[in-house]
């Protein structure tokens, strides 16, 4: 199963594409990186760039699912609105391409990766690197987060299936 994990943002959209073999419970990292948009560009153009580049990734890898991080509201409402706009564009892109969409909170992602919902960023990065057998940790936190979201979906999806089949 190919999963694209996405850490949304207006300036940086982290992405990670993994192939999860449910039978073997093994991961292969297909691609990871970031979609970036310059700060001095109009918001509409930035959103169009995010849509177009995500559309290219979906076209290239044909994922079965997109796992997207839910918005974490902090004190900066302007940032939250920009992230919400980017999330909307990403969700639309997935819908238009027929990719199933799943959302996870940062707490759920940390729980699935580290086993502790309040884990530090460095712990998540270290575990993602280990789980995916990466030669070196992703350069951007956004990319590491996106890979963690993809792994979270793979683990959550398979545990839900096992729980259902065990009934």
Name the residue range of residue 6's domain. Answer: 2-165
pLDDT (average), residues 63-71: 94
**Domain of residue 133, CATH code:** 3.30.420.10
Task: Identify whether the C-beta of residue 2 lies closer than 8 Å to the C-beta of residue 18.
Answer: yes
Q: Work out whether the CA dihedral 40, 15, 102, 120 comes out positive or negative.
A: negative
52 is catalytic: no
23-27, 52-56, 156-160: which is most confident: 52-56
pLDDT (average), residues 50-71: 96
What is the rounded distance in angstroms from the CA atom of residue 66 to the CA atom of residue 79? 23
pLDDT (average), residues 2-15: 97
pLDDT computed for residue 158 by the predictor? 56
Active-site residue identified among 19, 21, 55, 69: 69
Contacts of residue 86, Cβ cutoff 8 Å, sequence gap at least 6: 8, 9, 10, 13, 47, 50
Considering its fold, how many domains does the chain have in total? 1
pLDDT (average), residues 65-82: 80
69 is catalytic: yes
Strand order in the sheet with 65-69: 26-36, 12-21, 2-7, 65-69, 100-104
Q: Is the per-residue pLDDT at 167 higher than 50?
A: no
Active-site residue identified among 7, 21, 52, 145: 7
Q: Is the per-residue pLDDT at 163 higher than 50?
A: no
**CA 26 to the chain's CA centroid:** 18
Active-site residue identified among 22, 45, 53, 142: 142
Closest-CA residue to 18 (of 164, 136, 143): 143
45 is catalytic: no
Task: Identify whether the C-beta of residue 103 lies closer than 8 Å to the C-beta of residue 5.
Answer: no
pLDDT digits (tens, 9 = 90+) for 9-36: 999 999 999 999 999 999 999 999 999 9
pLDDT computed for residue 18 by the predictor? 98
Q: Does 164 or 23 have the greater pLDDT score?
A: 23
CA 85 vs CA 48, 60, 81, 94: distances in Å: 11, 24, 6, 14
């Amino acid at each position: 199963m190919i999963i694209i994990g996405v850490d949304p943002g207006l300036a940086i959209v982290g992405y990670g594409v993994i192939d999860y073999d449910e039978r073997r419970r093994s991961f292969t990292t297909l691609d990871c990186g970031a979609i970036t948009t310059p700060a001095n560009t109009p918001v509409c153009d930035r959103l169009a760039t995010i849509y177009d580049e995500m559309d290219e990734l979906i076209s290239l890898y044909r994922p079965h699912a997109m796992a997207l991080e839910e918005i974490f509201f902090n004190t900066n409402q302007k940032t939250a609105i920009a992230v919400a706009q980017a999330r909307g564009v990403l969700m639309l892109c997935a819908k238009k391409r027929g990719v199933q969409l799943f959302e996870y909170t940062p707490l759920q992602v940390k729980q699935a990766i580290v086993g502790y919902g309040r884990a530090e960023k460095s712990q998540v990065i270290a575990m993602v690197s280990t789980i995916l057998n990466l030669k070196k940790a992703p350069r951007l936190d956004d990319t590491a987060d996106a890979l963690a979201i993809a792994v979270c979906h793979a683990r959550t999806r398979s545990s839900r299936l096992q729980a259902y089949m065990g009934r």
